[in-house]
C-alpha cells in the first residue's frame, strides 16, 4: 500500500501544477493517470495564448516540460485505472488497477472528454472516418473533403490545423453564429478552404464501409442537405470524467465537480482543479491557477494535522 500526503488524480496542466507546488513543499505527492500526463493539451498541435511563449508552443512540448518539472520535485506518477474510491475515509483510499493507495488529501484533475452527438452513423464510423482529434487523424485526410461539426473555439482552432492537410472543410454549427474567439473566427472566415453552414443541425453521418457524407438540416427553413465528405471531425462540447466520483463528492447537473475558487469540494481534504471543476472559463491558465490554489490549501491541511 502506497501512502501519500497529496494524491492527484489526473495529469493535465492543473494536476501537474499541483504536483510542482506540493513537491516543492516537500510533501510526498503521487499522481494517478490512466494514459500519460498532459491531458487534452498534449493532443493540441499549437498553443499561442499561454504566457511566456511569444511565438507559441506545441502542446506536447509544454506538457513534457511541466511533467519534467513536476518529477524534478518528487512527483511519483502511476499509470492505471481507478476501480474504487472512498474519499470520506481517513486516510482517503483509492484502488487503482488492483493496488490500494491512501492519501491525506486528494486533488481531482480528471478533465473532460469530447461529447458524443449520438446521431446515426457516429458510433458506426468511429475510426472509419469519424474523429475527435485533428492532431491524431488530420494527416489521414490529405487532399480530402471533411466536415467539422462545432463552431466553438476548439472546433475552429482544430479546423485551422486541418487546413494544412485537407482539400476543403465544411463547418456545421447548430447556432446561427460561431462561438469561437474572434481571432479564430477571422482566420477561418478569411481562409479559402472553409464553407460555413450556420444554424444547421446534423441528422446523420452516412456511408457503407466508411464515411461518405453528412446530412444536415437548415433550422430556419427545415430544408435538408447532404454534404459529401471523406471524414467528420466532431467538437460539440466536453463532458467531465467524474463517473467514479458519483456518491463521493457533490456534482452539478452536468457532472462537473462543485467547487469554488478555493477548489474545495463538498468533502474536506478533497479538491477539484482544471476543466473538471464547475467554472465559467476553462483555459490552461485557469487550470494551472487551480492547481496552485489546491496544492497550497492541501498543504495547510497537512500542516494543521502535523501541528
Do residues 252 and 103 both lie within one domain? yes
Is 90 exceeded by the pLDDT of residue 227?
yes
pLDDT number for residue 109: 97
Question: Is there a contact between 78 and 101 (Cβ–Cβ < 8 Å)?
Answer: yes
Do residues 124 and 227 both lie within one domain? yes
Among 61, 84, 86, 136, the active-site one is 136
> Which residues lie below 8 Å from residue 207, measured CB to CB, with a gap of 6+?
121, 125, 128, 129, 213
Among 5, 137, 145, 290, the active-site one is 137
Q: Is 137 a catalytic residue?
A: yes
pLDDT number for residue 247: 94
pLDDT number for residue 48: 86
Do residues 72 and 102 both lie within one domain? yes
Do residues 189 and 97 both lie within one domain? no
> CA 286 to CA 266: how far, in whole Å?
21
pLDDT number for residue 238: 87
pLDDT number for residue 211: 96
Domain boundary among 214, 234, 254: 234
Mean predicted confidence (pLDDT) in 82-111: 95
Do residues 268 and 293 both lie within one domain? yes
CATH number at residue 28: 3.50.50.60
Mean predicted confidence (pLDDT) in 27-42: 90
Do residues 86 and 125 both lie within one domain? no
Question: Is there a contact between 266 and 283 (Cβ–Cβ < 8 Å)?
Answer: no
Is 90 exceeded by the pLDDT of residue 173?
yes
Do residues 108 and 247 both lie within one domain? yes
Domain boundary among 179, 210, 234: 234
pLDDT number for residue 36: 82
Do residues 166 and 242 both lie within one domain? no
Confidence of residue 39 (pLDDT cuts 50, 70, 90): confident
pLDDT number for residue 1: 62
> CA 47 to CA 195: how far, in whole Å?
25
Higher pLDDT, 282 or 189: 189
Is 80 exceeded by the pLDDT of residue 145?
yes
Q: How far is CA 163 from CA 146, 147, 231, in A?
A: 10, 12, 13
Question: Is there a contact between 135 and 45 (Cβ–Cβ < 8 Å)?
Answer: yes
Is 80 exceeded by the pLDDT of residue 251?
yes
Mean predicted confidence (pLDDT) in 169-182: 96
Do residues 68 and 140 both lie within one domain? no
Mean predicted confidence (pLDDT) in 161-170: 97
Lowest pLDDT segment from 25-29, 78-82, 230-234, 267-271: 78-82
Mean predicted confidence (pLDDT) in 85-102: 94
Is 80 exceeded by the pLDDT of residue 116?
yes
Do residues 135 and 92 both lie within one domain? no
Name the residue range of residue 99's domain: 2-113+238-306
Mean pLDDT of the chain: 94
> CA 173 to CA 52: how far, in whole Å?
33
DSSP 192: T
Domain boundary among 209, 234, 259: 234
| Cell 462540447, located at residue | 237
Is 90 exceeded by the pLDDT of residue 66?
yes
Residue 233 phi, psi dihedral angles, 5° rounding:
-110, 130
Do residues 198 and 128 both lie within one domain? yes
Number of folded domains that form the chain: 2
Do residues 109 and 120 both lie within one domain? no
Is 90 exceeded by the pLDDT of residue 123?
yes
Q: Provide, rounded to the nearest whole percent, the portion of the chain with pLDDT above 70.
A: 99
Higher pLDDT, 121 or 282: 121
Helix (H, G, I), strand (E, B) or coil at 131: strand
Amino acid at each position: 500500500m502506497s501512502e501519500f500526503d497529496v494524491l492527484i488524480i489526473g495529469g493535465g496542466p492543473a494536476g501537474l501544477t499541483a504536483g510542482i507546488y506540493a513537491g516543492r513543499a516537500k510533501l510526498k505527492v503521487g499522481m494517478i493517470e490512466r494514459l500519460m500526463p498532459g491531458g487534452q493539451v498534449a493532443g493540441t498541435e499549437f498553443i499561442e495564448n499561454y504566457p511566456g511563449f511569444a511565438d507559441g508552443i506545441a502542446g506536447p512540448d509544454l506538457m513534457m516540460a511541466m511533467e519534467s518539472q513536476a518529477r524534478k520535485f518528487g512527483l511519483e506518477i502511476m499509470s492505471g485505472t481507478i476501480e474504487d474510491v472512498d474519499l470520506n475515509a481517513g486516510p482517503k483510499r483509492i484502488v487503482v488497477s488492483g493496488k490500494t493507495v491512501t492519501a491525506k488529501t486528494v486533488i481531482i484533475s480528471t478533465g473532460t472528454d469530447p461529447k458524443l452527438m449520438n446521431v446515426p452513423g457516429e458510433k458506426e464510423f468511429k475510426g472509419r472516418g469519424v474523429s475527435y482529434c485533428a492532431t491524431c487523424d488530420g494527416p489521414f485526410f490529405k487532399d480530402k473533403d471533411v466536415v467539422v461539426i462545432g463552431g466553438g473555439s476548439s472546433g475552429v482552432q482544430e479546423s485551422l490545423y486541418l487546413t494544412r492537410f485537407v482539400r476543403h472543410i465544411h463547418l456545421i454549427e447548430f447556432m446561427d453564429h460561431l462561438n469561437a474567439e474572434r481571432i479564430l473566427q477571422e482566420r477561418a472566415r478569411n481562409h479559402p478552404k472553409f464553407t460555413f453552414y450556420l444554424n444547421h443541425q446534423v441528422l446523420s453521418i452516412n456511408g457503407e464501409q466508411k464515411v461518405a457524407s453528412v446530412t444536415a438540416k437548415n433550422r430556419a427553413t427545415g430544408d435538408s442537405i447532404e454534404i459529401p465528405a471523406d471524414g467528420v471531425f466532431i467538437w460539440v462540447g466536453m463532458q467531465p470524467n467524474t463517473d467514479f466520483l458519483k456518491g463521493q463528492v457533490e456534482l452539478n447537473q452536468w457532472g462537473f465537480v462543485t467547487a469554488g475558487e478555493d477548489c474545495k469540494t463538498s468533502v474536506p481534504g478533497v479538491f477539484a482543479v482544471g476543466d473538471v471543476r464547475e467554472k465559467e472559463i476553462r483555459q490552461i491558465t485557469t487550470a494551472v491557477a487551480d492547481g496552485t490554489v489546491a496544492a497550497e490549501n492541501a498543504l495547510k491541511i497537512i500542516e494543521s494535522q502535523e501541528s
